[in-house]
Amino acid sequence: MSTHAEEDGLHLIKQETSNSEERRFRALIEHSSDVIMLNNAKGIVTYVSSSITSNLGYMPAEFIGQVFLDFVHPDDVPILQDIAHELQWNGDKSLSTEYRLRRKDGAWRWFEGTGTNLLHDPDVNAFVGNFRAITVRKAAEERLHLLNAVSILLVSSLDHEITLQQIAQLLVPAQADYCRIALVDDHQQVKEITVNHVDPEKNALVQALYEQYKDRSSSTHGLQKLLTTGQPELISIVSQDVLETTRDNPTLFALVGTLSLRSYMGVPLIARGKTIGAMTFSSIQPHRHYTNDDLLFAQEVARRIALALDNVHLYKEAQNAIRLRDEFIATASHELRTPITSLKMYTQVLQKRFARQGDESMNRSLMKMDAQIGKLTLLIEDLLDVSKLELGKVAFRQEAFNLNEVIAEIVEHVQSISTRHTIHIEGKSTLPLWGDKERIGQVLTNLLINAIKYSPHADTVLVHIVQEQAMVIVKVQDFGIGIAKEHQQQIFERFYRVNDPEEKTYPGLGIGLHIAYEIIMRHGGTMYVESEKGKGSSFCFTLPYTSDKTEIA
Ligand code: ADP
């Protein structure tokens, strides 16, 4: 049994405990960096912790009694309304989301907040909310998002002027209230690419400002300085001192005032060590002052732009060089054809004359000369073909032909000029093909000459003809040096040759396979190689059968 005195003592201890507990909780709430608040059923703030001041700039008394949603960014109100609705119907549940709140100075800041419905608890009878600033994370997310968007724009077109204008539109107003991008052309002239003010009516003012700045050799800030120094520039707060530097030019001074610049940063566009342009970011908002993080972001944007511009430049240069090369090849091979034709004619005339005179030795020399002229003619024809194929100027004859006959004829011809190798034909096509038999013969000649050329230690070359339902496959197989995997796709490209230091060098231009490939493609077929280094290669091409399936006699 406890006495009265003991009961009184216990009561006192309990009261003291609850008082100290309350003090502890109060201290916890008041010193938390999170903002803690209570809202009544109508959404009016009935309590807010003192950290509201460091987060939003209001004193608690200014916030209490206000409708909480009035501080929320209009775009984020619907989501908070949905959450309040959900909480009302779902008891003790807590729900979180991200939203923007207006600071006392008018700027919007991102917060992450959680709400719990404790209206049904008679001791609390309120919505309990807490929110914490996530400005830094949000800004980083936004920059990442913008960088991705910039990269996508940069690869979307080769017209860099349009791309840069789109990038400026992306950056305003997210990162700047006005933004300018200028490039230096090949004659070192500064070319304005885009000027973008958040209020388009002010574009002219910004333009006028830059005009005034343009010829100022004394410019301590701005584009000219970026272009000459190649160094980024950050003026976090545009102070009166900075403005004073323009006072010597009243027009400029007035323009700077009208545009009410608050913060500025500029970055050069540098490609391979050369400053090829610059971009500037300007803020007119009282609460947006650029920081080092912003400058790093601007530099990354500039780096990506410069890289993309440089790639476009290199691409155009390469295209131009290719065009000049093709023009040269076309002209040179055309010009070479006439003298070679006369040379061949005179050689034959001389051959006949010496044959009549019975001069065997002279005749043999002239035959060798004729064979060399033949090789030269083939080379020139190949060069001409390459340029003509590239320009789509090769006309193909359209006629039905017998593939077996073409193969037999070409094999006989190549066999006649090869002493070491024997060429065997296996299989045949029972159906005619449609197309240009001279050109198909040219493909086969090329493959057979390669098979012999690249198998100097073998003595056999096989030509397989495999008939399938809708097409025929012709396979030229050799047992020579083979081709390593990494070259197998590229050997059909123009001028591609395998350069293997372990192999001896074979003469050639690297165009025969390209011509063959193009001819087969234009006949609706395909061409590929199966090969293993050191074991030999099989060059295959397919040709489709026409609908007319008349059997070949
Ligand atoms: P070229 O023989 O004049 O160099 P091609 O276009 O005919 O040009 O061939 C391109 C390259 O493909 C050759 O340089 C060679 O490296 C490789 N190649 C072609 N045919 C064969 C083959 N049968 N065996 C091995 N390598 C070959």
**pLDDT tens for residues 279-329?**
999 999 888 899 999 999 999 999 999 999 999 889 889 989 988 888 888
**Range of lowest pLDDT (1-15, 292-306, 480-494, 530-544):** 1-15
Confidence at residue 334, expressed as pLDDT on a 0 to 100 scale: 83
Residue 39 tokens read as 């809202």
Confidence at residue 310, expressed as pLDDT on a 0 to 100 scale: 92
pLDDT digits (tens, 9 = 90+) for 243-267: 888 888 888 888 888 888 899 999 9
Confidence at residue 3, expressed as pLDDT on a 0 to 100 scale: 54
- For residue 412, the CA-to-ligand 1 centroid distance in Å is 22
Find out if CATH 3.40.50.720 is the number for domain 32-133: no
CA–CA separation, 401 and 471 (whole Å): 14
The residue among 273 and 212 whose pLDDT is bigger is 273
Confidence at residue 8, expressed as pLDDT on a 0 to 100 scale: 61
CB 444: neighbour CB atoms within 10 A? 24
Mean pLDDT within 2-26: 66
Residues sharing a CB contact under 8 Å with residue 371, sequence separation 6 or more, in sequence order: none
CA–CA separation, 22 and 156 (whole Å): 62
Q: Indicate whether 345 pLDDT > 70.
A: yes
Mutate to test the pocket of ligand 1, among 442, 488, 513 (most ligand atoms within 8 A of CB): 513
Nearest CA to ligand 1 atom 8: 510
pLDDT tier, 547 (very low <50, low <70, confident <90, very high otherwise): low
CA–CA separation, 141 and 311 (whole Å): 28
Confidence at residue 213, expressed as pLDDT on a 0 to 100 scale: 74
Long-range CB pairs of 285-288 (<8 Å, 24+ gap) are: 285/107, 285/177, 286/105, 286/106, 286/107, 286/262, 287/103, 287/105, 287/106, 287/107, 288/107, 288/177, 288/262, 288/263
Nearest CA to ligand 1 atom 21: 450
Q: Which atom of ligand 1 is closest in space to residue 455's alpha carbon?
A: 24
**399-544 homologous superfamily:** Histidine kinase-like ATPase, C-terminal domain (3.30.565.10)
Nearest CA to ligand 1 atom 12: 491
Q: Indicate whether 217 pLDDT > 70.
A: no
Residues sharing a CB contact under 8 Å with residue 486, sequence separation 6 or more, in sequence order: none
Domain boundaries for CATH 3.30.565.10 within the chain: 399-544
Question: Taking CA 202 as the corner, what is the angle to CA 196 and CA 204, rounded to the nearest 5 degrees?
Answer: 85
Residues sharing a CB contact under 8 Å with residue 433, sequence separation 6 or more, in sequence order: 400, 401, 402, 403, 440, 472, 543, 545, 546
pLDDT tier, 12 (very low <50, low <70, confident <90, very high otherwise): low
CA–CA separation, 88 and 182 (whole Å): 56
Mean pLDDT within 465-481: 95
Give the H or E element holding residue 280.
strand 274-283
Q: Indicate whether 548 pLDDT > 60.
A: no
Confidence at residue 73, expressed as pLDDT on a 0 to 100 scale: 96
Nearest CA to ligand 1 atom 3: 508
- Residue 230 gets the label, from left (phi > 0), alpha (psi -120 to 50) or beta, of left
Q: Quote the DSSP letter at residue 67.
A: B
- The percentage of the chain sitting over the pLDDT mark of 70, rounded to a whole number, equals 94
- For residue 523, the CA-to-ligand 1 centroid distance in Å is 22
In this structure, the strands spanning 422-426 and 460-467 are parallel
Confidence at residue 6, expressed as pLDDT on a 0 to 100 scale: 58
Domain boundaries for CATH 3.30.450.20 within the chain: 32-133
- For residue 483, the CA-to-ligand 1 centroid distance in Å is 9
Q: How long, in residues, is the chain?
A: 553
Confidence at residue 378, expressed as pLDDT on a 0 to 100 scale: 84
Residues sharing a CB contact under 8 Å with residue 242, sequence separation 6 or more, in sequence order: 221, 235
Q: Mutual orientation of helices 160-171 and 292-357 as an angle, nearest 10°?
A: 170
Mean pLDDT within 24-33: 83
Q: Report which of 518, 498, 516, 520 is spatially closest to residue 508, judged by C-alpha positions.
A: 498
Nearest CA to ligand 1 atom 25: 482
CATH number of 319-391: 1.10.287
3-class DSSP state of 425: strand
Confidence at residue 11, expressed as pLDDT on a 0 to 100 scale: 62
CA–CA separation, 124 and 120 (whole Å): 8
CB 219: neighbour CB atoms within 10 A? 16
Nearest CA to ligand 1 atom 14: 497
- For residue 449, the CA-to-ligand 1 centroid distance in Å is 10
Mean pLDDT within 435-451: 95
Q: Indicate whether 7 pLDDT > 80.
A: no
- For residue 416, the CA-to-ligand 1 centroid distance in Å is 21
Confidence at residue 16, expressed as pLDDT on a 0 to 100 scale: 63
Domain boundaries for CATH 3.30.450.40 within the chain: 139-316
Mean pLDDT within 360-384: 89
In short, whether 497's Cβ falls inside 6 Å of ligand 1 is: yes
pLDDT tier, 553 (very low <50, low <70, confident <90, very high otherwise): very low
Q: Mutual orientation of helices 135-156 and 292-357 as an angle, nearest 10°?
A: 20
pLDDT digits (tens, 9 = 90+) for 167-193: 999 999 889 999 999 999 888 888 889
pLDDT tier, 1 (very low <50, low <70, confident <90, very high otherwise): very low
Q: Indicate whether 405 pLDDT > 70.
A: yes
Q: Indicate whether 392 pLDDT > 80.
A: no
In short, whether 537's Cβ falls inside 6 Å of ligand 1 is: yes
Q: Which atom of ligand 1 is closest in space to residue 514's alpha carbon?
A: 6
Confidence at residue 134, expressed as pLDDT on a 0 to 100 scale: 93
Average pLDDT, the chain: 88
Confidence at residue 291, expressed as pLDDT on a 0 to 100 scale: 93
Mutate to test the pocket of ligand 1, among 386, 450, 492 (most ligand atoms within 8 A of CB): 450
**Range of lowest pLDDT (386-395, 407-416, 517-526):** 386-395
Burial 513-525 (b: 16+ CB within 10 A, else e): bbbbbbbbeebeb
**139-316 homologous superfamily:** GAF domain (3.30.450.40)
Confidence at residue 218, expressed as pLDDT on a 0 to 100 scale: 58
Residue 125 dihedral angles phi and psi, to the nearest 5°: 50, 50
Task: Give me the amino acid identity at 37.
Answer: M
The residue among 346 and 122 whose pLDDT is bigger is 346
Q: Quote the DSSP letter at residue 241.
A: H
pLDDT tier, 125 (very low <50, low <70, confident <90, very high otherwise): confident
